A and B are shown apart, each in its own frame.
Chain A
């Protein structure tokens, strides 16, 4: 089974992060939702590995569930 990388894999995390922020510089949540959806679809297709994507989906989703419990 292929594992999702959970240690730093980006040579320049500061650059990637600032690019993400710039993408959403316009304060328009609707627009940002669309951009994020496109970004996720492009990346999901590039990764293409169902096992890797399942792990990422699981982590992304389960953190929110813990948060919801914490708030409850």
Chain B
């Protein structure tokens, strides 16, 4: 099997740290070089923070596993580096069809709002995603990725964390100020620390078959409830790169995973679905799933991210996508804490913001699971009648839940937000991630807003005309102990220059509208591109206070 992909083998290389008499100290160590651990490492490089990544294996994901990468993940990957490569290799899709019993129920188009750089989703095998991140990491001087390094012991004190690491050359030790744990759903480190991830185990088994098909098949997501070829259960068909198709069969709880995995079992199922024999089996797996999370993601100087911290069912693409947002949320905070520019309690906001996101993801994923595989008779009746109504009555299509689009969490309750003083629309309220939109740079280059925001705090000033820009005040924000990146966005068609300030133009005129901005408005974005404050009228002190609040540096937050 695996005709389309050969797993790379990354060489183990001994580190000079292994010969040191005393454990060598690093500010930050990450355990796990999966999508989430590697995203965190790349973000460290963007923040100028040196990092050691330890992985107990020497290759990328075996089999395709995670398949759907959402728009927000692609936007983060644009900031971290490999965004374009992922989109080029991935399959962009917008159209989905839902079938029930013998016939079609309805089809939908997820075509997002116009004028965004990235699509709603791409489908891409996890091994490509990981491979592209590894290759990006190989170009990063600040990242020391060590294959075949297994952490077998861990202790922490107020001063830091001490790790025992087993390698092909034997044992060595490392010290670090902070440890990030990204070793996946069955986290060995979580177990080593005697911690739990608690929640719901679903009594259901799914068969994944990745099949290779040559031919002209539509790039669509097809979902069947109770189809004639798989009575009583559901099936999902999805396209990946390299003419590979992902098929998920719901098998129910009583299925025998070893038996169902055998090609003699799988091939007839796939043939019944496709109605032909023109395919080859690439990879097969049977999985069960859980929706669960740790109570606390931060344990002293050990911080859990991704599936190690929280796990969801695969419906709705909320696993890898939310883990990557964990990294996006955490790394800028850690950098500021390590630099002494923010207090340690800034890390509490990681717990607060990302556990809210985890709860949202668990809720959505549980709801999808309950719809896809109803747990009792009446819930099955409701499900089937939603599908029956959906054929003729459009309202019922809204009740059909074969997985909800994963959107970034709106962190409206975050303690890092400065509440609005001026009246603004809700779309870009403090806590919400910045929306994208087309811009024109000062050089006349076609570009996108999110790619301009950088890796620091960023202030975006909206102006009608370059003459109106308060150059002095904006330049003052670029100075000081915590410099802010400043961008000026001119209305569509406006021209002019502004000494020392990067000028952008609202190329299609959509950004003023999306941000509900008027000339003179200022938005302040955190380094993870979430809005933390906005004003129609502001002064330097307002912006500095909002930045201080977003770094947990305000006096009043101490007393809260």
Q: Which A residues lie at the B interface, using CB under 8 A?
A: 33-34, 37-38, 40-42, 45
Contact = CB atoms under 8 A, between A and B. Distances in A.
Contacts of A40: 382
Q: Is the interface of B mostly helix, strand, loop or mixed?
A: helix
A45 B399 CA distance: 10
B171 interface: no
Contact of B384 (A34, A42, A45): A34
A52 to B, nearest CB: 17
A34 B395 contact: no
A40 B389 CA distance: 12
Contacts, number: 26
A41 B384 contact: no
Contacts of A41: 382, 385-386, 389, 396, 399
Nearest to B393: A42
A50 B384 CA distance: 23
A61 to B, nearest CB: 13
A34 B389 contact: no
B385 A38 contact: yes
Nearest to A35: B385
B501 interface: no
A31 to B, nearest CB: 10
A18 B399 CA distance: 29
B381 A37 contact: yes
Contacts of B384: 34, 37
A29 to B, nearest CB: 11
A42 B382 CA distance: 12
A34 B381 contact: yes
Contact of B381 (A33, A42, A45): A33
Contacts of B393: 42
Nearest to B399: A41
B378 interface: yes
Contacts of A37: 378, 381-382, 384-385
Contacts of B377: 33
A37 B399 CA distance: 13
Interface string B350-390: 00000000000000000000000000011001101110110
Nearest to A38: B385
B389 A38 contact: yes
B389 A33 contact: no
Contacts of B395: 45
Given A38-B385, A45-B396, 7 more contacts: A33-B378, A34-B381, A37-B382, A37-B385, A41-B389, A41-B396, A41-B399
B383 to A, nearest CB: 9
Nearest to A30: B381
A33 B378 CA distance: 8
Contacts of B385: 34, 37-38, 41
B492 to A, nearest CB: 38
In the A-B complex, list the 3 residue pairs whose CB atoms are closest, starting with the nearest: A37-B385, A45-B395, A33-B381
A38 B388 contact: yes
Contacts of A45: 395-396
